[in-house]
Amino acid sequence: MRRSLLLLFILSWSCGPDPIPEPESVVLVAPANLEACNSASLVNDNERQVRFQWNASLYTDSYNLVVQNTLTKEQYTQDTSLLINSIILPSGAPYRWFVQSRSVLSPVISTSENWYFYLEDTPETTHFPYPAVLLSPENESSVSLTGDFSLFFEWEGNDLDNDIISYDFYLGTDPNQLQLIKGNVTQNGVSQVLKSSTTYFWNIVSRDSQKNLSTSDINTFKTN
């Protein structure tokens, strides 16, 4: 009797429904990453219509296009089932964009890489830097400090004019009260002494030769 029940359980388990596949993330196509967008259609003196394009992802029913002005932090979103969508944006500013993949069968939302572009206005003599990309420590990670309780922070800066002259390094235990730890950093990394078993938040401000500024996202990590 027990063997019969066990065999029935195994058969019912092995014949169960297949797991629901999660939507995969898309591969972005255009506007190109870290380049100026010169192909946008003119709307008026202050706005351009930008066409966004990406490749299809598996197990996906719809896409959510998200575009953010990295200076004002204003976001523009569009839901679509297509692989191309256009949004009217203020010109003369740097933007970040990504695409979210959604499925009606799964609650999981997959997100693409973040790409950046500069939406040209009239010909400019200078561009704002792109927000620095924080590389290390990784966001929401746990890290081990060195013997002297220090940790190396690393980031990547980009500017169409290639005229970034320095970075400001901010750090703190409250994301709303970050403190300037090191200013006028000319390298893409700094070492800082920290406390163990502490949650930290950090970001980077990029400065170019024309006194244009950009601020990165705020990342967090915990020391072991």
- CATH no. for residue 155? 2.60.40.10
Q: Tell me how far apart the alpha carbons of residues 171 and 182 are, in angstroms, rounded to a whole number.
A: 9
User: What total number of domains does the chain contain?
Assistant: 2
Q: Which 8-state DSSP code applies to residue 221?
A: E
Residue 63, judged by CB atoms within 10 A of its CB (0-12, 13-18, 19+), counts as buried
Asked if residue 170 belongs to a domain, the reply is yes
Position 15 confidence tier, pLDDT thresholds 50, 70, 90:
low
Domain boundary among 51, 85, 119: 119
Asked if residue 7 belongs to a domain, the reply is no
Higher pLDDT, 16 or 119: 119
Asked if residue 74 belongs to a domain, the reply is yes
Q: Summarize the confidence of residues 29-40 as an average pLDDT.
A: 94
Please state the φ and ψ torsions of residue 14, each to the nearest 5 degrees: -70, -20
Task: Decide if 28 contacts 112 (C-beta within 8 A).
Answer: yes
Please check the confidence at residue 218 and state whether its pLDDT lies above 90: yes
Range of the domain at 36: 28-119
Q: Tell me how far apart the alpha carbons of residues 134 and 79 are, in angstroms, rounded to a whole number.
A: 28
Q: Mean pLDDT, the chain, as a whole number?
A: 92
Please check the confidence at residue 10 and state whether its pLDDT lies above 90: no
Predicted local distance difference test score (pLDDT) of residue 4: 54
Residues 32 and 115 in one domain: yes
Asked if residue 148 belongs to a domain, the reply is yes
| 20's tokens | 């629901």
Residues 140 and 187 in one domain: yes
Buried/exposed 157-173: b ≥16 CB within 10 Å, e otherwise:
bbbbbeebeebbbbbbe
Asked if residue 76 belongs to a domain, the reply is yes
Residues 79 and 149 in one domain: no
Residues 114 and 139 in one domain: no
Residues 102 and 63 in one domain: yes
pTM score of the predicted model = 0.83
C-alpha 196: how far from its chain's center?
A: 28
Give the pLDDT confidence of 65-101 residue by residue, as tens digits: 999 999 999 999 999 999 999 999 999 999 999 999 9
Q: Summarize the confidence of residues 164-178 as an average pLDDT.
A: 97
